[in-house]
Structure 1
Amino acid sequence: MSAAQARSAELEKLIQADPGRFRVLTGDRPTGRLHLGHYFGTLHNRVRLQGLGVEMYVIIPDYQVLTDRDVADNLTGHVEDLVLDYLATGVDPARSTIFTHSSVPALNQLLLPFLSLVSVAELSRNPTVKDEIAHSRQSFVSGLMFTYPAHQAADILFCKADLVPVGQDQLPHLELTRTIARRFNDRYGNGTPVFPQPDALLSSAPLILGTDGTKMSKSRGNAIALSADADETARLLKGAKTDSERHITYDPAGRPEVSSLLLLAALCLDRTPQQVAADIGSAGAAALKKTVTEAVNEYLAPIRARRAEYAQDRAYLRQILRDGNERARAVADTTLAEVRAAMNSHY
C-alpha cells in the first residue's frame, strides 16, 4: 500500500468518527453530460460523504473549459446539465454548495499571489498538465493551460478545503496545492497558518471502460451518459467491444473489455463480477450485453426520472446556482481578506 493509500484509509476512519470536521472541494468541468464512469467514480462517493455530514463544495469550473479548447461551446447548457446530473444522483443543494468558477471573483484573484509561489519549472513538469497539453484541442498551449495547477489550488484553498477526492493521476495537482499552501503560510503566515494543506481522499472506485475498450470519456464518444434513455443505452452497449471467447469470465488483465462490462453489471446489481460471469457462463457476448443493458437501465431508471422532472424547471436550476454562488462568494471574500491582511495589502 502506498503512503497516499494508507493516508486515505486513515482519513476514511476519521470521517466516520467525526464527519463534521471535514470540508471537501470537488467538481466537474462543464464540457458535456456526465456518464456512468463519473457516477461510480465520483458522484456516488459525493452523495455518500454528503450523507455522512461532510461539508461539501461542488465547483463547476467554467473558466477551465478553456484550458484545452479554444472556445467554450454551449457553456450555459453544459452547466445546467451538470446541475441536473447532480440533483438526479442525490447531491442536495441544501447540504452541498454548488457554484460556478466565474461567479466568484475573489477565488480567481487568489491565482495572482499563488503564481508568485511556484516556479515555471514546477508548472512545466506537472505530469497531468503534460498529458492535458498532449491531448489539447487548442491551436496552441495557452497560459491558462500552463497555470492550471495553480488555478486549481485557488479552487481548493479559497474555501480552505482539507479533503479533495481524487484519482491516483491527480495526486501531482494536489501536491502542488499543498506546496502553495505551505509556502504561503511560511512566507506570510507569521506563525499562524492561513491555509490548510489538503489531503487526497483516493477513490477506491474501479475503472469503468468505455464501449471501445478505453477509459470512458465524454470527449472520446465511448460513454454512456446518465441522461441517455433506455434505447440509446441499449444501442451503445450492443456495440461495446468484447472478444472472441464465448465462455464469459472475469479476468481484468486478460479480458479487460469483457471484465469491464461484468463490473458494470455487478455495480448495478450489487453483486460481484464473478457471480455475474457465472450466471452467463457460455452464453456468449450477446447474453453478456443483454445482462449489462438490463442492469444499467434498471439502475438508472429512477435517476433518469428525477432528472427529467428537474429539467422541467430551469428557473430552479438557475436559483440553485445563484444561491451557491452567493455562499461561495461570501467564503471567498473572507479568505481573500485574510490573504490581503497577511500580505499587508489590506488598504
Structure 2
Amino acid sequence: MMGDSFEASKKRSDEIRADLSVNPGKYCMLTGDRPTGRLHLGHYFGTIRERVALQNLGVTSRIIIADYQVITDRDTTANIQDNVYNMVIDYLACGIDPEKTIIFTHSQVPALNQLMLPFLSLCTEAELERNPTVKSEQEASGHALTGLLLTYPVHQACDILFCKGNIVPVGKDQLPHIEQTRQIARRFNERYGHVFPEPEGLLTDAVLIPGLDGRKMSKSYGNAISLAATAEETAKLIKKSQTDSERFITFDPDNRPGVSALITTASLCTGRGEQEIAEEIGNGGSGQLKKYVTESVNDFLAPIRERRVELMGDMDYVKDVLREGNRRANEIANQTLEEVREAMGMVY
C-alpha cells in the first residue's frame, strides 16, 4: 500500500515541481521547524535552501516556528525565546525575505490553534495511533507519549490549512502527515462545505546530510555544524571528527562512513562531485581531507555568518520581523476561522 501511494505521491510531486516555475502564483507553501536549538548545515541543505528558492520563484511562503511543538516531548521551555530569535536570524541570514515570506510562531496565533477542535473531531483514535512518524519521534525522545505528540499531525494540519497551504516540502518519511492533513481537509469539506484545499507533499531530493560521525546530522548527536558556529569552532569540530586508519582517501559511505561524511559535506558546499574530491585528496590522508572540508564549509558559510553578525547587532529589527509575521499570520488565521464557523453554522 505504502509503495503504491509513494509512487503516486512522487509522480504528483514531480508534476508540481515542473509547474512551479511556470505558475508560481498558484501555490502557497507552508513549512517550519521546532525551535529546540540552533539550525545547522543539515537544515540548510535539507530544507532552507529550497525554501529560499521557492520564495524567490514567487511561491507564496509561510514559515512556522513551531514553539508549541517543543513541549510534545520535552518538559521545559528553557531558552525557547533565545532559540526562536536565533531561528529568525538564521532564516534571514540564509536569504528568507520577510517581505515575501511570513515568519510566525504557534503561540502567537490563537485562531490557528482553535482549528484543533473541529479537526480533532474528524480523526479517529486508531488513525492517530497509526501514524508512523509519531511513533518514531516518541521512541527517539524516550519520553512518554503525550496527548500533544499523539495529536501532532492534527496540529500540523492546522498549520498547513489555516493559510490554505497547498504544497508542503517534505522528505519521504513525512508523507503520512500530509496524508492525514489531506484527509482532514477532505472530511471537513464533505461534512460542512468547501473551505480547504487538499495539500500535496513536495518531495525534496532528500540529501541525507551526514553528521561528522557518518550518522544523520542532528543536534542531539552533537555531530552538527551549526550555522551560528564561528570558523574556529567549525575547524575544531571537523578536526575532532572520526575517520579511520586507512590513509588513502576513497568515497565509500557503507564501509567508511566517517571519511565519506566529510567528503559529502565538502561536495555540498563546493558543488563538486564526491568521487572527484576523493581522488584529488587520495594519498593526502585524513589530515588533508579535514583541511579541505574546513575550508569548503567556512568559505560557504562566510556570507551567511557575516549577515548573522549584522542581525545579532540589530535585535530590534529581528523582533519586528517576527512581530509583523505574527500580525499577518493572525489576519489570515482569523479570516479562515470565520469561514470555518460559517461553514459549521456557528455564527451568533
> Could you state the TM-score of these two structures normalised by the residue count of structure 1?
0.96
| 1:121 correspondence with 2:126 | yes
Deviation at 1:285?
1.5
- Code of the residue aligned with 1:214 in structure 2: it is R
Q: Aligned partners of 1:88 and 1:228: how far apart in 2? A: 13
| 1:157 correspondence with 2:158 | no
**Bigger mean CA deviation after superposition, 200-209 or 115-124:** 200-209
User: SS in structure 2 opposite 1:200?
Assistant: strand
RMSD over aligned CA atoms reads 1.2
Q: Aligned partners of 2:209 and 2:70: how far apart in 1? A: 23
Q: Which residue matches 1:201?
A: 202
Q: Which residue matches 1:219?
A: 220
Q: 1:179 aligns with which of 169, 179, 183?
A: 183
- Code of the residue aligned with 1:109 in structure 2: it is Q
Q: 1:92 aligns with which of 94, 97, 101?
A: 97
How many pairs does the alignment contain? 343
User: SS in structure 2 opposite 1:82?
Assistant: helix
User: SS in structure 2 opposite 1:26?
Assistant: strand
Deviation at 1:253?
3.4
User: SS in structure 2 opposite 1:250?
Assistant: coil
- Code of the residue aligned with 1:345 in structure 2: it is M
Q: Which residue matches 1:65?
A: 70
Q: Aligned partners of 2:238 and 2:182: how far apart in 1? A: 41
- Code of the residue aligned with 2:32 in structure 1: it is G
Q: Aligned partners of 2:104 and 2:321: how far apart in 1? A: 8
Q: Which residue matches 1:143?
A: 147
- Code of the residue aligned with 1:290 in structure 2: it is K
Q: Aligned partners of 1:282 and 1:3: how far apart in 2? A: 46
Q: Aligned partners of 1:177 and 1:251: how far apart in 2? A: 39
Q: Aligned partners of 1:245 and 1:180: how far apart in 2? A: 54
**Bigger mean CA deviation after superposition, 237-246 or 178-187:** 237-246
Q: How much identity, in percent, do the aligned residues show?
A: 58
Unaligned runs of 5+ in 2: 1-5
Q: Which residue matches 1:228?
A: 229
Q: 1:10 aligns with which of 8, 12, 15?
A: 15
Counterpart contact for 2:93–2:307, Cα < 8 Å: yes
- Code of the residue aligned with 2:51 in structure 1: it is R
| 1:45 correspondence with 2:46 | no
Q: Aligned partners of 1:346 and 1:136: how far apart in 2? A: 42
Unaligned runs of 5+ in 1: none
**CA offset digits 1:253-294 (Å, max 9, x no partner):** 333332221111011112111111111012211211111111
User: SS in structure 1 opposite 2:102?
Assistant: strand
Counterpart contact for 2:212–2:238, Cα < 8 Å: yes
**CA offset digits 1:125-171 (Å, max 9, x no partner):** 11110011112254x32211111110111001000100000111111
Counterpart contact for 2:213–2:257, Cα < 8 Å: no
**Bigger mean CA deviation after superposition, 261-270 or 288-297:** 261-270
Counterpart contact for 2:214–2:260, Cα < 8 Å: no
Q: Aligned partners of 1:344 and 1:255: how far apart in 2? A: 62
**CA offset digits 1:33-65 (Å, max 9, x no partner):** 000000000011111111111010000010010
Regions of 4+ moved over 6 Å: none
**CA offset digits 1:272-322 (Å, max 9, x no partner):** 111111110122112111111110001101100000000111111111011
Q: Aligned partners of 1:290 and 1:175: how far apart in 2? A: 45
- Code of the residue aligned with 1:25 in structure 2: it is L
Q: Aligned partners of 2:246 and 2:22: how far apart in 1? A: 47
Deviation at 1:220?
2.0
Q: Which residue matches 2:110?
A: 105
Counterpart contact for 1:19–1:52, Cα < 8 Å: yes
- Code of the residue aligned with 2:154 in structure 1: it is A
- Code of the residue aligned with 2:87 in structure 1: it is L
**Bigger mean CA deviation after superposition, 283-292 or 121-130:** 283-292
Counterpart contact for 1:216–1:222, Cα < 8 Å: yes
Q: Which residue matches 2:245?
A: 244
Q: Which residue matches 1:270?
A: 271
Q: Aligned partners of 2:178 and 2:168: how far apart in 1? A: 8
Q: 2:30 aligns with which of 25, 34, 37?
A: 25
Q: Aligned partners of 1:11 and 1:288: how far apart in 2? A: 39
Deviation at 1:213?
2.1
Counterpart contact for 2:170–2:202, Cα < 8 Å: yes
- Code of the residue aligned with 2:301 in structure 1: it is L
User: SS in structure 2 opposite 1:17?
Assistant: coil
| 1:77 correspondence with 2:82 | yes
Q: 1:55 aligns with which of 38, 46, 60?
A: 60
Counterpart contact for 1:35–1:226, Cα < 8 Å: yes
